[in-house]
Amino acid sequence: MEEVIDLEDLREGVSITDLGLNEFRVDLSNYIKTYGELRQIPEGLHAVVSTKDKTTQGAIFVLKNMNYSININKLNRLHPYYLVFIKGDSEIYLDHIESKKILDIMRMLCNGITQPLIDLCKQITEETDDYHQMDHYSLLLKKSIASILKTEEEKEVHSLFKSGGTTALKEKFKGIEDFKLVSFLIVR
């Protein structure tokens, strides 16, 4: 209802499912029917996928807002969860407000992959010294959270000039401690 669809990006017209998250709910329901409930999944779980588009290599972070009372202007449709797609050079590709697009990309990249991509996993293991040197991904995570905070601060400033009051003095994010890393997808 609050999302604007770029009609030029659609080839076959607009479907009501393009406006919602129903296809993801169906995917999750089918997954649960096949594999059972997702109760024992550890936090920080990650996967590695490949892409042919070298300009979109980076990481997709799934974060959980630990300050449940904050969902400024109700723009995040997945609250308390946030998705950010950041490129390997630290440029934000899609911010947390574009969660539907990020989910579509994740779905496209992961569709049909049921086994680890061994060569990519070995490459990441070597690059990170068996996951002991995660500085690059830690930086990407910090920049992703900073992009959420920056976007929310910009909305507060804009609210000063709108009728109906401001959100600038209301409860807001404090920083990185407001978020927990749920999982991430390394896109190579």
What is the mean predicted confidence (pLDDT) over 83-108? 95
Convert the pLDDT of each residue in 117-158 to its tens digit: 999 999 999 999 999 999 999 999 999 999 988 876 665 555
pLDDT surpasses 80 at 114: yes
Give the pLDDT confidence of 2-61 residue by residue, as tens digits: 444 444 444 445 455 455 788 888 988 998 999 898 888 888 899 999 999 989 999 999
How would residue 176 be classed by pLDDT, with cut points 50, 70 and 90? confident
**CA gyration radius for the chain?**
18
pTM of the predicted model, to two decimals? Answer: 0.79
